Amino acid sequence: MIVCQNCGYEGEQVYCSKCGQPLVVKRISLGHLLHEVTHTFWHLEKGFLFTLKELAISPGTMQRRYLSGLRLHYQKPFSLFAISATFGAFALFLLSRNAPNETNTSFYKHYFFIVQAVMLPFFALITYLLFKSRNLYYAEALVMNVYMLGFTSIFIVPINSLSLFIPNGAITFSKTISLPLPDGLISLLEIIFLITYNIWTNLNFFKGKAVWWIIVRSIIGIIISYYLFNKASNLVMEWLL
Protein backbone atom coordinates (compact mmCIF):
# COMPACT_ATOMS: atom_id res chain seq x y z
CA MET A 1 0.00 0.00 0.00
CA ILE A 2 1.23 3.49 -0.90
CA VAL A 3 0.24 6.62 1.00
CA CYS A 4 -0.92 9.50 -1.24
CA GLN A 5 1.23 12.57 -0.64
CA ASN A 6 -1.72 14.85 -1.43
CA CYS A 7 -4.57 13.53 0.76
CA GLY A 8 -3.03 10.75 2.87
CA TYR A 9 -5.29 8.04 1.43
CA GLU A 10 -3.73 4.61 0.99
CA GLY A 11 -3.86 2.70 -2.26
CA GLU A 12 -1.99 0.33 -4.53
CA GLN A 13 -3.01 1.55 -7.96
CA VAL A 14 -1.22 4.05 -10.20
CA TYR A 15 -3.48 6.92 -9.13
CA CYS A 16 -5.11 7.72 -5.78
CA SER A 17 -8.72 6.56 -5.83
CA LYS A 18 -9.74 9.49 -3.61
CA CYS A 19 -8.08 12.58 -5.15
CA GLY A 20 -6.67 11.29 -8.45
CA GLN A 21 -3.02 12.26 -7.89
CA PRO A 22 -0.34 9.70 -8.90
CA LEU A 23 0.59 7.65 -5.86
CA VAL A 24 4.26 7.53 -6.85
CA VAL A 25 5.47 11.13 -7.04
CA LYS A 26 8.92 11.60 -8.51
CA ARG A 27 11.19 14.57 -7.95
CA ILE A 28 11.00 17.28 -10.57
CA SER A 29 13.84 17.06 -13.09
CA LEU A 30 14.63 18.70 -16.41
CA GLY A 31 13.24 15.63 -18.14
CA HIS A 32 10.01 15.98 -16.17
CA LEU A 33 9.68 19.65 -17.12
CA LEU A 34 10.43 18.87 -20.78
CA HIS A 35 7.71 16.23 -20.74
CA GLU A 36 5.20 18.71 -19.29
CA VAL A 37 6.03 21.38 -21.90
CA THR A 38 5.78 18.83 -24.70
CA HIS A 39 2.48 17.53 -23.35
CA THR A 40 1.07 21.06 -23.10
CA PHE A 41 1.91 21.96 -26.70
CA TRP A 42 0.78 18.54 -27.93
CA HIS A 43 -2.55 19.00 -26.16
CA LEU A 44 -2.97 22.47 -27.64
CA GLU A 45 -2.17 21.22 -31.13
CA LYS A 46 -4.49 18.24 -30.93
CA GLY A 47 -7.26 19.93 -28.92
CA PHE A 48 -7.13 23.69 -29.35
CA LEU A 49 -6.30 23.88 -33.06
CA PHE A 50 -8.62 20.99 -33.90
CA THR A 51 -11.47 22.71 -32.06
CA LEU A 52 -10.81 25.99 -33.85
CA LYS A 53 -10.85 24.19 -37.18
CA GLU A 54 -14.19 22.57 -36.35
CA LEU A 55 -15.61 25.91 -35.21
CA ALA A 56 -14.45 27.43 -38.50
CA ILE A 57 -15.98 24.84 -40.83
CA SER A 58 -18.99 23.59 -38.84
CA PRO A 59 -20.00 26.04 -36.09
CA GLY A 60 -23.03 24.91 -34.14
CA THR A 61 -22.51 21.34 -35.31
CA MET A 62 -19.26 21.18 -33.34
CA GLN A 63 -21.05 22.37 -30.17
CA ARG A 64 -23.81 19.80 -30.70
CA ARG A 65 -21.21 17.03 -30.96
CA TYR A 66 -19.51 18.21 -27.78
CA LEU A 67 -22.77 18.38 -25.85
CA SER A 68 -23.81 14.93 -27.13
CA GLY A 69 -20.73 13.42 -25.46
CA LEU A 70 -18.04 13.50 -28.18
CA ARG A 71 -15.53 15.46 -26.07
CA LEU A 72 -12.22 13.61 -26.19
CA HIS A 73 -10.65 15.56 -29.07
CA TYR A 74 -12.12 18.98 -28.27
CA GLN A 75 -10.62 21.74 -26.14
CA LYS A 76 -12.86 22.46 -23.17
CA PRO A 77 -15.02 25.57 -23.74
CA PHE A 78 -13.75 27.90 -21.01
CA SER A 79 -10.08 27.06 -21.53
CA LEU A 80 -10.51 27.68 -25.27
CA PHE A 81 -12.15 31.05 -24.57
CA ALA A 82 -9.41 32.00 -22.08
CA ILE A 83 -6.63 31.21 -24.56
CA SER A 84 -8.45 32.86 -27.49
CA ALA A 85 -9.36 36.01 -25.55
CA THR A 86 -5.82 36.37 -24.20
CA PHE A 87 -4.36 36.00 -27.68
CA GLY A 88 -6.96 38.35 -29.17
CA ALA A 89 -6.45 41.03 -26.51
CA PHE A 90 -2.66 40.94 -26.90
CA ALA A 91 -2.89 41.03 -30.71
CA LEU A 92 -5.31 43.97 -30.67
CA PHE A 93 -3.05 45.81 -28.24
CA LEU A 94 -0.11 45.41 -30.62
CA LEU A 95 -2.19 46.45 -33.62
CA SER A 96 -3.65 49.52 -31.95
CA ARG A 97 -0.68 50.78 -29.91
CA ASN A 98 0.11 53.39 -32.59
CA ALA A 99 -3.51 54.43 -32.97
CA PRO A 100 -4.68 57.85 -31.73
CA ASN A 101 -5.35 57.88 -28.00
CA GLU A 102 -9.13 58.00 -28.23
CA THR A 103 -11.48 56.80 -25.52
CA ASN A 104 -13.18 54.13 -27.64
CA THR A 105 -9.88 52.86 -29.03
CA SER A 106 -8.35 52.71 -25.56
CA PHE A 107 -11.35 50.80 -24.23
CA TYR A 108 -11.40 48.43 -27.19
CA LYS A 109 -7.77 47.42 -26.80
CA HIS A 110 -7.81 47.12 -23.00
CA TYR A 111 -11.26 46.05 -21.82
CA PHE A 112 -13.15 44.54 -24.76
CA PHE A 113 -12.53 40.89 -23.86
CA ILE A 114 -13.01 41.48 -20.14
CA VAL A 115 -16.49 42.84 -20.79
CA GLN A 116 -17.18 39.96 -23.19
CA ALA A 117 -16.25 37.45 -20.48
CA VAL A 118 -18.48 39.17 -17.90
CA MET A 119 -21.38 39.31 -20.38
CA LEU A 120 -21.15 35.63 -21.36
CA PRO A 121 -23.84 34.46 -18.89
CA PHE A 122 -26.21 37.14 -20.24
CA PHE A 123 -25.52 36.21 -23.88
CA ALA A 124 -26.27 32.59 -22.98
CA LEU A 125 -29.47 33.61 -21.20
CA ILE A 126 -30.65 35.47 -24.31
CA THR A 127 -30.01 32.37 -26.43
CA TYR A 128 -31.74 30.16 -23.88
CA LEU A 129 -34.86 32.34 -23.70
CA LEU A 130 -35.15 32.88 -27.46
CA PHE A 131 -34.60 29.22 -28.40
CA LYS A 132 -36.03 27.67 -25.24
CA SER A 133 -37.18 24.06 -25.55
CA ARG A 134 -37.26 20.87 -23.51
CA ASN A 135 -34.02 19.76 -25.16
CA LEU A 136 -31.98 22.86 -24.25
CA TYR A 137 -30.49 23.53 -20.84
CA TYR A 138 -29.14 26.95 -19.90
CA ALA A 139 -25.69 25.41 -19.33
CA GLU A 140 -25.74 24.05 -22.87
CA ALA A 141 -26.60 27.49 -24.26
CA LEU A 142 -23.66 28.82 -22.23
CA VAL A 143 -21.28 26.26 -23.72
CA MET A 144 -22.43 27.10 -27.25
CA ASN A 145 -21.84 30.83 -26.66
CA VAL A 146 -18.45 30.30 -25.00
CA TYR A 147 -17.20 28.34 -28.01
CA MET A 148 -18.66 30.89 -30.42
CA LEU A 149 -17.04 33.86 -28.65
CA GLY A 150 -13.79 31.93 -28.34
CA PHE A 151 -13.59 31.51 -32.10
CA THR A 152 -14.64 35.07 -32.91
CA SER A 153 -11.98 36.35 -30.48
CA ILE A 154 -9.37 34.75 -32.74
CA PHE A 155 -10.93 35.68 -36.07
CA ILE A 156 -11.30 39.41 -35.43
CA VAL A 157 -7.50 39.62 -35.27
CA PRO A 158 -6.93 39.15 -39.04
CA ILE A 159 -9.79 41.58 -39.70
CA ASN A 160 -8.08 44.21 -37.55
CA SER A 161 -4.76 43.37 -39.19
CA LEU A 162 -6.09 45.11 -42.30
CA SER A 163 -5.19 48.36 -40.55
CA LEU A 164 -1.54 47.54 -41.26
CA PHE A 165 -2.26 47.76 -44.99
CA ILE A 166 -4.52 50.81 -44.87
CA PRO A 167 -2.85 53.03 -42.25
CA ASN A 168 -4.06 56.26 -43.90
CA GLY A 169 -7.55 55.07 -44.74
CA ALA A 170 -6.62 54.12 -48.30
CA ILE A 171 -5.00 51.28 -50.20
CA THR A 172 -2.00 52.60 -52.13
CA PHE A 173 -1.19 50.91 -55.44
CA SER A 174 1.58 53.29 -56.51
CA LYS A 175 2.92 56.75 -55.72
CA THR A 176 0.09 58.34 -57.68
CA ILE A 177 -2.76 55.82 -57.37
CA SER A 178 -4.63 55.04 -54.15
CA LEU A 179 -8.11 53.80 -53.32
CA PRO A 180 -9.78 55.70 -50.47
CA LEU A 181 -11.81 53.56 -48.09
CA PRO A 182 -14.80 54.62 -45.97
CA ASP A 183 -14.30 55.41 -42.29
CA GLY A 184 -15.08 52.52 -40.00
CA LEU A 185 -14.44 49.86 -42.66
CA ILE A 186 -12.80 47.47 -40.21
CA SER A 187 -15.63 47.89 -37.71
CA LEU A 188 -18.14 47.23 -40.50
CA LEU A 189 -16.30 44.05 -41.52
CA GLU A 190 -16.30 42.92 -37.88
CA ILE A 191 -20.05 43.47 -37.57
CA ILE A 192 -20.77 41.60 -40.83
CA PHE A 193 -18.60 38.68 -39.70
CA LEU A 194 -20.10 38.50 -36.19
CA ILE A 195 -23.70 38.62 -37.47
CA THR A 196 -23.02 36.03 -40.19
CA TYR A 197 -21.16 33.68 -37.86
CA ASN A 198 -23.83 33.94 -35.16
CA ILE A 199 -26.65 33.09 -37.58
CA TRP A 200 -24.60 30.27 -39.15
CA THR A 201 -23.92 28.80 -35.71
CA ASN A 202 -27.57 28.92 -34.70
CA LEU A 203 -28.72 27.38 -38.00
CA ASN A 204 -26.47 24.37 -37.37
CA PHE A 205 -27.04 24.12 -33.62
CA PHE A 206 -30.84 24.30 -33.84
CA LYS A 207 -31.08 22.25 -37.01
CA GLY A 208 -34.57 20.92 -37.51
CA LYS A 209 -36.29 24.23 -36.82
CA ALA A 210 -37.56 26.41 -39.66
CA VAL A 211 -34.76 28.50 -41.17
CA TRP A 212 -36.74 31.75 -40.94
CA TRP A 213 -37.55 30.99 -37.28
CA ILE A 214 -33.85 30.63 -36.45
CA ILE A 215 -32.77 33.69 -38.45
CA VAL A 216 -35.40 35.97 -36.90
CA ARG A 217 -34.52 34.89 -33.36
CA SER A 218 -30.82 35.16 -34.12
CA ILE A 219 -31.23 38.76 -35.28
CA ILE A 220 -33.31 39.61 -32.19
CA GLY A 221 -30.64 38.03 -30.00
CA ILE A 222 -27.87 39.97 -31.76
CA ILE A 223 -29.71 43.28 -31.27
CA ILE A 224 -30.34 42.63 -27.56
CA SER A 225 -26.77 41.41 -26.99
CA TYR A 226 -25.34 44.44 -28.79
CA TYR A 227 -27.47 46.79 -26.70
CA LEU A 228 -26.44 45.12 -23.42
CA PHE A 229 -22.78 45.04 -24.46
CA ASN A 230 -22.82 48.75 -25.28
CA LYS A 231 -24.46 49.53 -21.93
CA ALA A 232 -21.88 47.45 -20.07
CA SER A 233 -19.03 49.00 -22.08
CA ASN A 234 -20.21 52.53 -21.28
CA LEU A 235 -20.41 51.70 -17.58
CA VAL A 236 -16.88 50.31 -17.62
CA MET A 237 -15.55 53.33 -19.52
CA GLU A 238 -17.21 55.73 -17.06
CA TRP A 239 -15.72 53.82 -14.15
CA LEU A 240 -12.20 53.19 -15.45
CA LEU A 241 -11.40 55.89 -18.00
Give per-residue pLDDT as tens, 131-170: 987 788 999 999 999 999 999 989 888 888 877 766 555 5
* Res 196 pLDDT > 90: yes
Tell me the average pLDDT of the chain: 80
- 196 and 152 fall within a common domain: yes
Instruction: Report pLDDT for 99.
Output: 55
Lowest mean pLDDT among 23-32, 86-95, 156-165, 173-182: 173-182
230: containing domain: 60-240
- 14 and 118 fall within a common domain: no
b/e code 80-96 from CB counts within 10 Å (16+ = b): bbbbbbeebbebbeebb
Give the domain-ending residue among 57, 78, 104. 57
Evaluated on CA atoms 146, 152, 155, 160, the torsion sign reads negative
- 128 and 48 fall within a common domain: no
- 95 and 214 fall within a common domain: yes
- 89 and 205 fall within a common domain: yes
- 177 and 158 fall within a common domain: yes
Give per-residue pLDDT as tens, 201-225: 999 999 888 999 999 999 999 999 9
Could you tell me the CA-to-CA distances from 228 to 119, 122, 138, 198 in Å, in that order? 8, 9, 19, 16
Instruction: Report pLDDT for 101.
Output: 53
Read off the pLDDT band of 180 (50, 70, 90): very low
- 17 and 127 fall within a common domain: no
- 64 and 50 fall within a common domain: no
Instruction: Report pLDDT for 173.
Output: 46
Give per-residue pLDDT as tens, 61-72: 999 999 998 888
Q: Per the confidence metrics, is the pTM higher than 0.85?
A: no
- 135 and 183 fall within a common domain: yes
Give the domain-ending residue among 26, 57, 88. 57
- 53 and 68 fall within a common domain: no
- 64 and 10 fall within a common domain: no
CB-count exposure of residue 33 (10 Å: 0-12, 13-18, 19+): exposed
Domain count, the chain: 2
